[in-house]
Amino acid sequence: MNAITHCRPYFELLSNTIRKLPFEQVEAVTEILVRAYEQQRTIFLFGNGGSAALASHFACDLAKGTVNGSKKRFRVLALTDNVPLMTAWANDSKYEDIFSEQLANFASSGDVALAISGSGNSPNVLKALKVAKQAGSITAGLTGFSGGRMLAMCDACIVVPCDNMQIIEDLHLCVAHSLFTCVRAKISHGAPGKVVVGPRLVPRTAVR
């Protein structure tokens, strides 16, 4: 009985938070991803800790799970996957640079930088978003609490409205799976070689 008493509040908080998710922002990020697919832009994913694991997981889902018989495929890269490169930048420069320096090699106008951070305040994530915006890339975010500093740097940002990091990470995975499911449906339901999307999203002015 005590175990039930201790577990129940966690699941009640999880359930309550789900009802408060900003579904309109989930749809906005879905449209950004679909547009990147249609225009053959590259999507870069990055984050720390559990967010790093989710970046790799989501990149796998988008790269493989959306293959639908078309020659067109998602161009997606998790910046968390090259451990030697990350540790080289962390050792020879500073940890804050592990994502931004990778983006400096690859990011260009129209690409998508999708940052994942529970707090929205991780310095290396914020620096990567700044570099992406300077390159003319679209910026998207997945965060929690009140969005942190990341919120103002993103063209679209999904904020899990909770101050419990475990709940935030639980729902980040749920949101990533919902994005994947929605993106796959939109691609599958479009005409061959054509995905119908809304007007082109213009990135916000680059952060100085």
Q: CA distances (Å), 11 to each of 8, 48, 182, in order?
A: 5, 25, 25
Is 111 within the bounds of a domain? yes
Is 118 within the bounds of a domain? yes
Q: How many residues does the chain have?
A: 208
> What residue type is assigned to position 175 of the chain?
V
Task: Specify whether the CB–CB gap between 31 and 198 falls below 8 A.
Answer: yes
Q: How far apart are CA 26 and CA 190, in angstroms?
A: 20
What average pLDDT does the structure give for the chain? Answer: 91
Q: How far apart are CA 203 and CA 32, in angstroms?
A: 11
CATH number of the domain enclosing 182: 3.40.50.10490
The position carrying tokens 């005590």 is 2
Is 43 within the bounds of a domain? yes
Q: Which of 43, 162, 31 is nearest to 112 (CA)?
A: 43
Helix or strand (DSSP H, E) at 5: helix 2-19
- How many Cβ atoms are within 10 Å of 34's Cβ, its own excluded? 23
**What pTM value is reported for the model?**
0.88
Is 156 within the bounds of a domain? yes
Is 195 within the bounds of a domain? no
Q: How far apart are CA 122 and CA 134, in angstroms?
A: 19
pLDDT at 197: 40
Is 197 within the bounds of a domain? no
User: For the ranges 109-123, 131-145, 147-161, 189-203, which has the lowest average pLDDT?
Assistant: 189-203
pLDDT at 4: 66
Query: 15 versus 190: which is more confidently predicted?
Result: 15
Is 130 within the bounds of a domain? yes
pLDDT at 133: 98
Instruction: Print burial letters for 124-134: b (CB count within 10 Å at least 16), e (below 16).
Output: bbbbbbbbbbe
Number of domains in the chain: 1
Where in the sequence is the domain holding 130, given as residue range(s)?
2-189
